[in-house]
Chains A and B, each alone.
Chain A
Amino acid sequence: MSAVLEPQGKGAAEGAAAAPAEYPPQFNPEFLEATRRLEHEWRAKFDAVARKFGVDPAAYQRRTDSGLPVKPAYFPHDVANGRYDMLTAPGVYPFTRGLYPAQYQFMYWANQPVIGYGLPEDTRKRMDYLERQGMTGYFGNTFYNLVYDLVSHEGLDPDHPAAEGRVGQCGMAVYSVEDNARLFDGLALDRINVIHISYYEVLPVLAHYLAYARRRGVPWSKLGGNSMSWYYQSAYVGMTCFPPKGGMDLAVELVNFCTREMPRWNTVNIFGYGMEEAGATAVQEVAFSVAAGIDYARACVASGLAPDRFLSRFGFQISQSNDFFEEICKIRALRRLWARKCHALGARDPKSMHVRIHTHTAGSVLTAQQPLNNLIRTTLHAFGAALSGTQAMEVSSFDEALAIPTEHAHTMALRIQQIIQEESGITRVADPLGGSYYVEALTDQIEAAAERIFDAVEARGGYHKCHDFVRSSIEESAARWRDQVDAKERIVVGMNKYESAEVQDIEIFRVDPESERIAVERVRGLRARRDAKRWEAAMAALDAAAGRFAGGEIGVLMPAMIEAADADATTGELMGVLKKRVGWGSPY
């Protein structure tokens, strides 16, 4: 590691204890002496060029988007101190080079475009359409990455006054077991994977799905998919149904339930994407993701679960943004840091130390101006994610900054993945960038910088104890980014440079305004039609269970919630109980 770079933190040293094997030095001393001489000669040439461009070589220092200093070129000695036990092989601890020995050679990453708008039938139409376009998950199964609307996110029903104009917008209008039937009837639940993108209504949404599966006669143990458990997001976005500790407790309840009943289910998703979208740098995204994940993992351990029983069901949703190499190295550093921290927590099964990544290409750097440019941006993002070894991908549609995607935009986003998978040839070799002096040096640098922030969070008592620190750190980065854009220190093509008066005339998607009326009718009809006595009893039982949960008892809440869901309680009703017992703000 060169002196120009940030000093290597204790990160690398600490990990040594966890390393399974020792390796001899990567290069012999005479070789390194030669490369240092070579760098010296090269530097003289570089300095001469810099002076020709009027740049003082002594003052010259480029930085990544996170602000990490980089050298103008890298050499073998820059990675000679980076230790091979931290690099190893693809599929070997600490997984810097990827989770699996073969990476994409026998199976590509899963296509997971986010889908969800209008009534459940509308969303189903788009699901079926994309499936016909070749959207593929693992082992030929289809993954449906479904987003609920904001009304559901807030734990309301569509006839709540605050829901007006928001039903089925930016997500699907699904509020009951009946709506699940409209969404999933005809699909083999044990052969698909369903990602339920929800915010605070995680338990109600899963309860609806499980009650629906039971009506269909599909055992819960055969269901595959994800619950997001993004409660810790309240640190960096203004959505606040539950206080930090209450949210974490709800996540622990879900982990306990799924560990018992649903071994295939992914219980917690670490939403680094949301952090970077809110303005976090790549380094902060790594740091806060690991900090949030470890905080939740500790809470699960405290509830009586051994790390190897639940950690393998934690997943990550990570952003892939503009700084091409930093974003790739970020993924590699994240894998290593997470593996080390999980090992320190007591995990020993490799799967318990895996960062399984769902890439979401960055939406915040896409522009409303010249929207077709976004196709080029997202292609670069997706390409970087593929090189870094992601497990699944959502590519933002080119109309991201304008509306939810049209069918055409959705298809183009899928084609970007398919072209990289089938045409570019990069899937031929596992970790194709492994060993690049620059990539390995920057990976080390990001890990060390992220670990310093991680330590700062831990010193404050862990993630859920320092939402204000997380928030202000991210907000400072967001402000810096915007100031740079306004000062044109950061170029956004088509927005602050190469602007054009010509308007690219693209189709803007619009949700059928009738869907709101229909959703309201449906939920009112359901309330009138359902067995009122059964519903009342189930809701009373849920309220009692939520009271016990609020008193610290784990394991009673989720079963009661499934029974209430099966008695046709709606999202607003189920969430109302949680808000009353665990949350702040008004219940439904």
Chain B
Amino acid sequence: MTDRIIRVLLGKTTMECHDRGVRYLATKLRDAGMEVVFINFLEPREIIDVAVDEDVDVIGISSSVEGHIPVAREVMRRLRERAMEDVLVVFGGVIPERDIGPMKEMGVREVFGPGSSAEAFIGFLRANVRERHFAAE
């Protein structure tokens, strides 16, 4: 559990028009005192580039139209490559039940499906985000 300012990267692919949920979440996280960066990405490597530049604690990816497995695989691979496995990775949107197990095995910590509340999401981030090795400010 942490009270410090949590830095969150939220993203969805530029191909997808379903961004109502993730944009709502962005405002809710901001209202909860977090710093939020929101991007539309084409390829998963862009997520990691921004995550490094912005020094985020959390990567949240929204996906409602498939394609989430390759994105999860690539994001986790690149995080490992850069020894950034302590960044908390979560997914949300329309993710079929059958894919949640395999995604968690890759290192995705949680998947938030339709109807999940922003409060539950914020609580999960506070409870699971990494401890900073150094002061954020």
Quick one: closest A residue to B42, CB to CB? A162
Q: Considering residues B12, B67, B69, B114, which has the most beta carbons from chain A within 10 angstroms of its beta carbon?
A: B67
Given contacts A164-B70, A486-B117, are A154 and B15 in contact (CB under 8 A)? Answer: yes
Q: Does B66 lie at the interface of the complex (its beta carbon under 8 Å from any beta carbon of A)?
A: yes
Give, as a whole number of angstroms, the nearest-CB distance from B3 to chain A.
Answer: 23
Q: Are B71 and A151 in contact (CB under 8 A)?
A: no
A165 cross-chain contacts in B, Cβ below 8 A: 66-71
Decide if B66 touches A169 in the complex (CB within 8 Å): yes
Residue of B with least CB distance to A161: B43
Write the A451-479 contact mask toward B (1 if CB under 8 angstroms, else 0): 00000000000000000000000010011
Selected contact of A238 from candidates B14, B68, B71, CB within 8 Å: B14
Q: Which parts of A142-157 form the interface with B (CB within 8 Å)?
A: 150-151, 153-154
Q: Are A239 and B24 in contact (CB under 8 A)?
A: no
Give Cα distance in the complex from A287 to B114, angstroms: 29
Residues in A whose Cβ lies below 8 Å from that of B94 = 368, 401-403
| Contact A475/B23 with A165-B66, A169-B67 known, Cβ cut-off 8 Å | yes
Question: How far does the alpha carbon of A240 sit from the alpha carbon of B41 in the complex, in Å?
Answer: 11
Q: Which of A272-280, A347-355, A545-553 contacts B (4 or more CB under 8 A)?
A: A272-280
A508 within 8 A of B: yes
Could you tell me the distance between the alpha carbons of A170 and B98 in the complex, rounded to whole angstroms?
18
| Residues of chain B with a CB closer than 8 A to A237's CB | 17-19
CB pair B16–A239 under 8 Å, yes or no, is yes
A403 touches B115 (CB 8 A): no
Q: A165-B68, A165-B69, A169-B67 are in contact. Are A402 and B115 (CB under 8 A)?
A: no
Within the assembled complex, what's the spacing in Å between the Cα atoms of A401 and B21?
13
CB within 8 Å for A164 and B14 given contacts A278-B20, A368-B114 = no
Contacts of A264 in B (CB 8 A): none
Q: Report which residue of A161, A367, A510 has the largest number of chain B beta carbons within 10 angstroms of its beta carbon.
A: A161
Contacts of B27 in A (CB 8 A): 475, 479
Q: Which A residues touch B85, using CB under 8 A?
A: none
Interface residue A495 (Cβ < 8 Å from any Cβ of B): yes
A570 close to chain B: CB less than 8 A: no
* Contact flag A478-B115 (CB < 8 Å), given A154-B14, A154-B42, A165-B68: no
Given the complex of chains A and B, what is the CA–CA distance between A586 and B23 in angstroms?
24
Q: Are A239 and B17 in contact (CB under 8 A)?
A: yes
Taking the nearest CB of chain A, how far is it from the CB of B1, in angstroms? 22
In angstroms, Cα B67 to Cα A369, docked, is 23
Query: B40: which A residues are within 8 A, CB to CB?
Result: 238-240
- The answer to whether A170 and B66 touch across the interface, beta carbons within 8 angstroms, is yes
Is the CB of A133 closer than 8 A to any CB of chain B? no
A368 with B15: CB separation less than 8 A: no
Q: Which 9 pairs show the lowest CB-CB distances between chains A and B? A: A169-B66, A165-B67, A150-B15, A170-B65, A166-B67, A368-B114, A165-B70, A237-B17, A164-B70
- A-B residue pairs in contact (CB < 8 Å), sample of 24: A150-B15, A162-B42, A164-B70, A165-B66, A165-B69, A165-B71, A169-B65, A169-B66, A169-B67, A170-B65, A233-B17, A238-B23, A238-B40, A239-B16, A239-B17, A364-B20, A368-B114, A369-B114, A402-B96, A403-B96, A486-B119, A492-B115, A495-B115, A586-B42
A residues neighboring B (CB under 8 Å): 150-151, 153-154, 161-162, 164-166, 169-170, 199, 233, 237-240, 274, 277-279, 364, 367-369, 401-403, 475, 478-479, 482, 486, 492, 495, 508, 510-511, 585-586
